[in-house]
Chains A and B, each alone.
Chain A
């Protein structure tokens, strides 16, 4: 049993041993623990923000919008509207007398100015408490302007980040719902990609793979997504789900409502990429797709493997600590590190579920520390105790790693290089090499 300063944290952390133990997860953060997690609004905003031609309006005080203004690296092939941060900027008076009027006027102004076909209105903490009727305001404005205005129920205190994913998915479901009487026609060999946000062009990389396999990418949720294309989502014959944490819910609902099957995939690391491509081909079950897929894999592997092996030589025997947002990413990272000859000695996530932790448990060596909803004190302690040479994380973890004198790998949403697919695997290996083998560590 690990001895932690905060008693309530004990069930969230354990060291892998022969005796398997279920980890506590998917629950609220503990007060005063300095969790690395954000809130419901954050979860919703991450998922929806990559929709490029929508107005994303934050209904609340200014801070919430300030801190989320264009901080993600999602790329667009068209509109740049999504890179703005719109807020109703509630002030004291609005909190006392209600913010519905201001919201109405804000939508009015934005519609006049940008003529969008789609507006998302996010609720924040205050709005949830003062009880503004978002639904009613959105409905009235939508009818008036004949566009879609969708409320996102993302008040910060109603749960953790996962609740925000849920809220975003609910909004997406509303958006893709076919009009009454409209017939759903499924297109063959046509896929939706869920849980990819086109960070540094990752959606485009996957799209190219699919094309080379003889498949078409219909809609990506939500990387480089547009109003127009989102509306065709029901036409896909298969959904592939990458970031399961955020999109599993959508995939399941999709299956329920429109009978579209789904498949969990991961394009993080060579092993998972190859396996995912094969599983997609299998699900499509078409001889020519099989062949093209194998061809694609062969071509890419030949280019990639030697490069990765070269980097791997310098990295043998190093140890990594991982703290990322979602469970599936964590799992893939363990495998990816194995490809480089690196052992993961500490691993945790912000929003992983019980199955994720079970899978993680099966993959890691005995002695690895597994933890949910960690805080800086725990990350510090276990990376040091376990002798990690590098830490994987986001913006908040980076300075901590550096202060501890450790190499650091960005797996955050504002990175400028892709980490998915074969190119991504090379980028990853190069990044690990460039940080672990930097001369700077000689001096610290």
Chain B
């Protein structure tokens, strides 16, 4: 095995990650009646809106304080306050997230202070606004995402009465995956607070009446009550403690924390259900057992085909971890594992099972697609798993891509990709196996002809 840390390179060629405020937007979009304003120049918010919009096929309104030269030289405080006024007039949000950009951070804007002053001056609730410093150069969208959730929880959670619900904190997954998680929780008859929840806000049903802020998202009252939960299940084992909202709730309010991988694949899903059972004393319902059986059946049906898979997995750390382990369970070897984040946990978590997998692999931290592509060639990868950004691996190297994660902007349905739970894993596995089969069907005639007839 080898672990390459490329973060000393001087040029990034085809990025495998996005910037911090992007993650912040995604997290905030999962909160009920919330608007986001990005403090910086106009372009950042427009580009991020466009990117998110293309993935979810939904309108994504994000305001900008539209800092211009004057604001940059003399400070953007007035701009930001005016922006907050305007945004409240048009959207009437119950909660507002302020995120910074590179520009605001570089000129040293203290958004925490500005936010506090703003609510005081306008005589508003302290809880209306959360400010999160998210300089684009400070980390990837993944760190921006988790930091924002932690800040939201720190802002809203107050000492409350104990109740019987559990907190479920999730990484950036598809609305379809979130709905699957909620279905599982309901099947187990578990009361929960799920944060953040974009399953309706970024995958809204068509309705005659248009809502400027789509309905849905985690209710603010629920977030306030997170401090009184029986436990927190945080699907974020690769996440640093300093970015973990679950850690915060544990330290501040003594809510026991269980950090688990995404329930994808048989072992991770078992672990998820087992943990829920431990916390609540509830058993796995028959329906889910049947689903597990079907997944096993699916795994058996496809195991031989999958054994020919040598894949590259890339994207956000949590998903990369879950995909890698799911692949390993099914005999598909993740030969190239890559993330644009700088993450120490990922490699350590995977090391054991990868070594048991018996083959060489590379783990790329803080990487780009030029590097991934190079490694795919060296490692003889025949399948790529990740976001649309990997389409070059297909275009240039002929490696088919199974799309999962964010962003999927060159096909429709990014919001409907289902990969979690027993059912989701089945869907995911079918997509992979069929891609490998297509591969085979496309060239077995010609390759056998070349090998045995032509000789």
**Contact between B69 and A87 (Cβ–Cβ < 8 Å)?**
no
With A29-B64, A130-B106 known as contacts, the answer to whether A35 contacts B42 (CB < 8 A) is: yes
Decide yes or no whether A183 CB sits under 8 A from chain B.
Answer: no
In this assembly, does B12 line the interface, its C-beta being within 8 Å of a C-beta of chain A? yes
Stretch at the interface among A247-255, A394-402, A419-427: A394-402
Q: Does chain A have a CB within 8 A of B54? A: yes
- A409 beta carbon closer than 8 Å to chain B: no
Is the beta-carbon distance between B47 and A404 smaller than 8 angstroms?
no
Smallest Cβ-Cβ distance to A404: which chain B residue: B210
- List, in ascending order, chain A residues with CB within 8 A of B82's CB: 30-32
CA distance A277 to B6 in the complex (A): 54
Residues of B within 8 A of A5 (CB): 86, 89-90
Interface digits, A82-102 against B, CB 8 Å rule (1 contact, 0 not)?
A: 001111111110110000001
Choice from B17, B44, B107 contacting A156 with Cβ under 8 Å: B44
Within 8 A of B (CB), among A420-444: 444
CA distance in complex: A377, B62 (Å): 12
Name A30's contact: one of B19, B60, B66 (CB within 8 Å): B66
Q: Interface size for chain A: under 10, 10 to 19, 20 to 34, or 35 or more residues?
A: 35 or more
Tell me whether B169 is interfacial, beta carbon within 8 Å.
Answer: no
Residue from B14, B140, B210 with most neighbouring chain A CB atoms (10 Å): B14
Least CB separation from A128: chain B residue? B72
Known contacts: A38-B47, A84-B13, A160-B42. The answer to whether A90 contacts B87 by CB under 8 A is: no
Interface contact A37-B42, CB-CB below 8 Å: yes
Q: How far is the CA of A37 from the CA of B45 in the complex (A)?
A: 9
Residue in B19, B85, B370 whose Cβ sees the most chain A Cβ within 10 Å? B19
For the complex, give the distance between the alpha carbons of A84 and B64 in Å. Answer: 28
Q: How far is the CA of A64 from the CA of B46 in the complex (A)?
A: 11
Interface-located stretch among A54-62, A143-151, A282-290: A54-62
* Across-interface contacts of B47 in A (CB, < 8 A): 38, 42, 63-64, 67-68
* Among B44, B54, B389: residue with most chain A CB under 10 A: B44
- Whether a CB of chain A sits under 8 angstroms from the CB of B63 is yes
Residues A66 and B69 in contact, CB atoms below 8 Å apart: no
CA distance A65 to B51 in the complex (A): 12
B42 touches A6 (CB 8 A): no
B58 touches A62 (CB 8 A): no
List chain A residues, Cβ under 8 A from B324.
none
Q: What's the Cα separation between A57 and B15 when bound, in Å?
A: 12
Query: A377 to B90, Cβ gap below 8 A?
Result: yes
| Residues of B close to A85: CB separation below 8 A | 13-15
Are B66 and A126 within 8 A (Cβ)? no
Contacts known (A68-B47, A156-B41, A377-B90); A92 close to B135, Cβ less than 8 A: yes
Residue contact A61 to B137, C-beta cutoff 8 Å = yes
- Are the CB atoms of B44 and A39 closer together than 8 Å? yes
Say whether A62 contacts B64, CB under 8 Å. no
Complex Cα gap A402–B107 (Å): 39
Contacts known (A62-B136, A157-B41); A376 close to B102, Cβ less than 8 A = no
How far apart are the CA atoms of A400 and B63 in the complex, in Å? 16
Which one of A32, A39, A102, A404 lies within 8 Å of B43 (CB-CB)?
A39
Say if the beta carbon of A230 comes within 8 Å of chain B: no
Question: Which residues of chain A come closer than 8 Å to B48, judged between CB atoms?
Answer: 63, 67
Contact B208 A95 (CB under 8 A): no
Q: In the complex the two chains form, is B106's CB within 8 Å of A62's CB?
A: no
Given the complex, which residues of B lie within 8 Å of A128, measured CB to CB?
72
Size of B's binding interface in residues, CB under 8 A: 72
Q: Which of A105-113, A174-182, A309-317 contacts B (4 or more CB under 8 A)?
A: A105-113
Are B101 and A125 in contact, with the CB atoms below 8 A? yes
Residue A41 at the chain B interface, CB threshold 8 Å:
yes
Within 8 Å by CB of B103, from A129, A400, A403, lies: A129
A32–B82 Cα distance when bound, in Å, is 7
Name the residue on B nearest A39 (C-beta): B43
Choice from A89, A94, A404 contacting B12 with Cβ under 8 Å: A89
Asked if residues B43 and A156 are in contact (CB atoms below 8 Å), the reply is yes
Chain B residues with CB under 8 A of A444: 206, 208
Contacts known (A67-B50, A404-B210); A88 close to B43, Cβ less than 8 A? no
Q: Is the CB of B208 within 8 A of A66?
A: no
Chain A residues positioned under 8 Å from B419 (CB to CB) = none
Closest to A6 in B: B86
A395 touches B54 (CB 8 A): yes
- Residues of B near A29 (CB, < 8 A) are 42, 64, 66
Chain B residues closer than 8 Å to A92, beta-carbon distance? 135, 137-138
The closest CB in chain A to the CB of B144 belongs to: A63
With a cutoff of 8 Å between Cβ atoms, the chain A residues found around residue B50 in the complex are 67, 395-396
A33 sits at the interface (CB 8 A): yes
Point out the residues of chain B lying under 8 angstroms from A94, CB to CB: 137
CB-CB nearest in chain A for B81: A31
Q: Nearest chain A CB to B124's CB is how many angstroms away?
A: 15
Q: Which residues of B contact A160 (CB under 8 A)?
A: 42
Tell whether A403 pairs with B204 under 8 Å between CB atoms, given A30-B66, A126-B102, A396-B49. yes
Contacts of A41 in B (CB 8 A): 43
- Known A61-B137, A63-B22, A377-B90; judge A157-B46 contact (CB<8 A): no
Q: Is A40 an interface residue (CB 8 A)?
A: yes
Let me know if A354 is at the binding interface, CB within 8 A.
no
Q: Which 5 A-B pairs have the closest CB atoms?
A: A39-B43, A63-B19, A32-B83, A32-B86, A31-B83
A-B contact pairs, 11 of them (CB 8 A): A5-B86, A28-B68, A38-B47, A39-B44, A67-B47, A89-B12, A92-B135, A129-B103, A156-B42, A157-B68, A398-B57
List 11 additional contacts besides A32-B85, A35-B46; criterion CB under 8 Å: A42-B43, A42-B47, A62-B18, A69-B15, A106-B10, A156-B41, A395-B54, A396-B60, A398-B53, A399-B57, A404-B210
